[in-house]
Amino acid sequence: MITEVHEAIKVGAIFGDNKKKLKPVWFIWNGTKYTIREITYIWKERVGKTVIHYFTVT
């Protein structure tokens, strides 16, 4: 089941050595902490000078 979240959530992430790799490892949504088992899709979007990172996870 896919659930789209259109709100800010807290995310714990690991940055790679070159600081360009970003790997989310957990997130907190509605007061519950979820561990990310798998990243199934990644994409980015530019809004002005800001880059927004999107992830589909299980």
CA-CA distance, 4 to 2, in Å (whole number)? 6
**pLDDT above 70: percentage of residues in the chain:** 98
Residue 37, pLDDT > 70, answer: yes
Average pLDDT, the chain: 90
CA–CA separation, 1 and 28 (whole Å): 18
pLDDT of amino acid 8? 85
Q: Quick one: tokens of 54?
A: 């999107």
Would you place residue 19 in the very low, low, confident or very high pLDDT band (cuts 50, 70, 90)?
low
pLDDT (mean) for 2-10: 84
Check residue 49 and report its DSSP letter.
T
Cβ(27)–Cβ(45) under 8 Å? no
